[in-house]
Amino acid sequence: MPLTLADVLAVAEDLWPRAGAEPWDAPGLVVGDPSQPIERIRLVVDVVTESVDDAIGAAADLIIAHHPLLFRAVNSIDETAYRGAVVAKLIRADIALLSAHTNADVVADGTSDVLAARLGLAELRPIQASAVPGTGLGRVGALPEPTTLGRLARAVAGLLPATAGGIRVAGDYDEPVRTVALCGGAGDSLLNAAEVLAADVYITADLRHHPASDAREQHLLGRGPALIDVSHWASEWLWLDVAAQQLRERLPSVIVTVSDVRTDPWDFAITQ
C-alpha cells in the first residue's frame, strides 16, 4: 500500500508536535487531501512562487515549509494576489503543503539547536524553556575555545548561505567571546531574557533599530551581549537538512530533498 499524506502528517506530528507552537502561530496542513499518495517531499523555508516552481520541477507531492503560508484567516483565493496564486498553483499541481514553524523551533534538533550544533556549542540549554526538558525557544551554550567577536562573526558568515544583507555586528571586533546565545529566525523578543543578558554575544535575525540600539547601549555598559544579526532565511535554512534526514529515517520509501532556492527577500545591497 502506498504511503499517504496522513502517514506523513503522523510522523511530522511526532517530530514537531503542534502543541509546542506559539499561541499566535499557524503550523499544520495548509493544502492537501490526507488520502493522497506521497512519494516525494521537498523541504523549503518559505512558500513563494520560485520555491513552488522548484517543487514542481522536482516532481514533489508534498512541500514541508518552515514558514506558514497562511497566518491569518483568508477571505479569497484571488490569483492576482501572491498567496492566492500560490495556493492555486499548488492545487493544480496536486502538491500538498505542510508547515512546521515554532513547533520545529523549540524541539531538540530544531532550528536553533541545529545552528548551535554547527557552531560547536556545548552545554546547550534553551533561552526560554518549555515544559518538556531540553526544549524551548533559542539556545545558549559555550564555544569549545574562546574567540573574538570578529572571528565568530566570520565563522557565522562561513556557515550560513550567502545573502545580500550579509552579517551585521554590534560590538568591538577584538572583544573576547565564549558564551553564545542564539535564536534562529526573528529573536528580538528574547533580547531581555536572563540567558541572553548573561551571554557574551547574541546571534539572531531581523533585529530592529530600537531594540538593537537599546541592546547595544546596554552592552557598552557591560550589562548585555554583543549582537550578530543574520538573514532570517539563512538562519533557518540549515535546519532543513536535519529535518530531511529525520524524515528519511522515518519514511524510507519516500524521496526527501531540500530546495536550494534562496528565498531571502533581498536581491542586492549598496554598502557605504
Q: Residue 76 above 90 pLDDT? A: no
What does the pLDDT average to over 187-195?
A: 96
* Long-range contacts, 152-155 (Cβ 8 Å, 24+): 152/177, 152/180, 152/201, 152/228, 153/228, 155/119
Q: Distance between CA atoms of 69 and 88, rounded to whole angstroms? A: 13
Question: CB-based contacts of 234: which residues, under 8 Å, 6+ apart?
Answer: 160, 161, 162, 163, 205, 264
Q: Distance between CA atoms of 101 and 223, rounded to whole angstroms? A: 32
What does the pLDDT average to over 48-75?
A: 94
Confidence bin at 2 (pLDDT 50/70/90): confident
Question: Which residue type, as a one-letter code, is found at position 142?
Answer: A
Provide the percentage of residues in the chain whose pLDDT is more than 70. Answer: 100
Q: Distance between CA atoms of 193 and 199, rounded to whole angstroms? A: 10
Q: Which domains does the chain have, with CATH numbers?
A: 5-103 (3.40.1390.30), 106-233 (3.40.1390.30)
Q: Which residues pair with 202 in a beta bridge?
A: 181, 227
CB 86 within 8 A of CB 48: yes
Dig out the grid coordinates for 31 from the structure. 493544502
Q: What is the pLDDT of residue 73?
A: 78
CB atoms within 10 A of CB 132: 14
Residue 202, judged by CB atoms within 10 A of its CB (0-12, 13-18, 19+), counts as buried
Q: Residue 188 above 80 pLDDT? A: yes
Q: What is the pLDDT of residue 246?
A: 98
Residues in the chain: 272
Q: Which of 221, 141, 214 is nearest to 178 (CA)?
A: 141
Q: Distance between CA atoms of 232 and 5, rounded to whole angstroms? A: 29
- Return the residue matching grid coordinates 492545487: 91
Question: CB-based contacts of 122: which residues, under 8 Å, 6+ apart?
Answer: 141, 142, 143, 144
Question: CB-based contacts of 172: which residues, under 8 Å, 6+ apart?
Answer: 149, 226
Q: What is the pLDDT of residue 164?
A: 96
Q: What is the pLDDT of residue 104?
A: 98
Instruction: Give per-residue pLDDT as tens, 11-53.
Output: 999 999 999 999 999 999 999 999 999 999 999 999 999 999 9
- Return the residue matching grid coordinates 516552481: 53
Among 70-74, 111-115, 199-203, name the one with the lowest average pLDDT. 70-74
Dig out the grid coordinates for 254 from the structure. 519516500
CB atoms within 10 A of CB 250: 16
Confidence bin at 71 (pLDDT 50/70/90): confident
What does the pLDDT average to over 128-145?
A: 95
Q: Distance between CA atoms of 98 and 42, rounded to whole angstroms? A: 10
Instruction: Give per-residue pLDDT as tens, 234-262.
Output: 999 999 999 999 999 999 999 999 999 99
CB atoms within 10 A of CB 269: 10
